[in-house]
Amino acid sequence: MENTRSVSGDMQVSIIIPARNEEASLGSCLGSLVGQSAVTFEIIVVDDHSTDRTREIACSFPSVRVIDAGPLPEGWTGKNNAVAAGARVSRGKWLLFTDADTVHLPGSLAHALSEAEEADADMLSYSPEQIMITFWEKAILPVVFAELARQYPPARVSDPNSTAVAANGQYILVKRSAYQAVGGHSAVASSILEDVALARALKTAGRTIRFLYGAGTVRTRMYRSFGQLREGWTKNLALLFPQPRWLAARILALWLLLPITLFLAAASSVWWLGVFAVVFVYLISRIGRSNLPLSSRFPGTFFGLPMFTYLLLRSRRAHAGGDIRWKGRTYQGEQHSMTRDTEQPPLSVGKSA
């Protein structure tokens, strides 16, 4: 049975949340959404064959509609199937696809809708503020997001004259008319990075997309353990960077300069301390592009950089071997599709698939 509510007047936004075993985060997500104001909206949770308390939690919110994702069609990823199911029963003029691990700040829905309308954008995607609790979250995430920011500045992604494409599936607000015009998620059914594929379809069709940092609007804790973090970035990283082996080698070489110059300073000349300082400042500045707290730059510099290279290589190997695992499902690897803008692939940092 479905948990439904009736909303009078024109429905402005349909919020669609795919949920597969999300009992740890779904309650906080829905709690942050049901109190949104100044916008008429509906919330649709799509239960994607959960085996935990996900459905029970969703049904505990009287204003939330809960539906089943249905059988997974051949050639579809689980997330694409779930969000497509939600879109089919939605009524809003705008569709907000957001993940169960997000927390939406008060007034954020009205703010996002206003920002999209003022920019005359067909799609608005936020990269959420990252909540980092464990040591490895604080070490690895700043490096990942810094490298993504170096490759894909939001201003260039939002430039209609640039072929660069970026999106974050944790927060995609899209006009229903534009979504339907490009075929929706049915058109990207097999894509592991469905957020990027949808953004690319819109931009190719001449639609306007806008990509922004979402600090102060939406927050997320993407992974709650090192195992989840490793599995998630293994799924995504090889699709996000061209020549991941070369990038891994370059990052590792830079990091190795730190212990090497310290050793040389102790063994031969304190002059090497100057070299160490230059390298250290460069790496700290490089990680600063992540827009994450200053305190995260230090664990990122000393521990996150080598872990990033490991995850890059692990991701490349998994995609080459056709063995991508996520939430109990296995997908074939994808070859990343290079854009023509500086020969870089599209950006996605969401928890796709």
Q: Which residues of the chain have pLDDT under 50?
A: 1-9, 335-349
**94 CB-side CA count, 13 A:** 26
pLDDT digits (tens, 9 = 90+) for 113-166: 999 999 999 999 999 999 999 999 999 999 999 998 888 788 888 999 888 888
Rounded Cα distance, 292 and 96, in Å: 25
DSSP class of residue 293 equals: -
Rounded Cα distance, 154 and 206, in Å: 18
Rounded Cα distance, 157 and 171, in Å: 16
Cβ proximity of 214 and 129 under 8 Å: yes
Rounded Cα distance, 269 and 19, in Å: 58
Could you tell me how many helices (H) and strands (E) the chain has, helices first? Answer: 13, 14
DSSP class of residue 288 equals: G
Rounded Cα distance, 343 and 221, in Å: 31
pLDDT of 342: 35
pLDDT digits (tens, 9 = 90+) for 181-227: 999 999 999 988 899 899 999 999 999 999 999 988 999 999 989 99
pLDDT of 333: 64
pLDDT of 344: 41
What 3-state DSSP class applies to 66?
strand
DSSP class of residue 123 equals: E
- The vertex-315 CA angle with 353 and 100, nearest 5°, equals 30
Rounded Cα distance, 138 and 178, in Å: 37
Write down the residue that tokens 């169960």 correspond to: 100
pLDDT of 7: 39
Domains in the chain: boundaries:
13-224, 227-346
pLDDT of 15: 98
* SS3 readout for 222-243: CCCCHHHHHHHHHHHHHHHCCC
Cβ proximity of 314 and 232 under 8 Å: no
pLDDT of 334: 62
User: How far are the Cα atoms of 43, 107, 299 from residue 34, in angstroms, in the given order?
Assistant: 8, 11, 36
User: How far are the Cα atoms of 51, 98, 231, 302, 345 from residue 237, in angstroms, in the given order?
Assistant: 28, 21, 10, 20, 11
Host H or E run for residue 122: none
CATH superfamily ID and name for 13-224: Spore Coat Polysaccharide Biosynthesis Protein SpsA; Chain A (3.90.550.10)
Q: What is the dihedral of CA 110, 24, 349, 177, to 10 degrees?
A: -40
Rounded Cα distance, 99 and 349, in Å: 12
Q: At what angle do helices 305-320 and 244-267 cross, to 10 degrees?
A: 150
pLDDT of 350: 52
Residue 268 burial (10 A CB sphere; 0-12, 13-18, 19+): exposed
Write down the residue that tokens 């936004």 correspond to: 13
Cβ proximity of 324 and 333 under 8 Å: yes
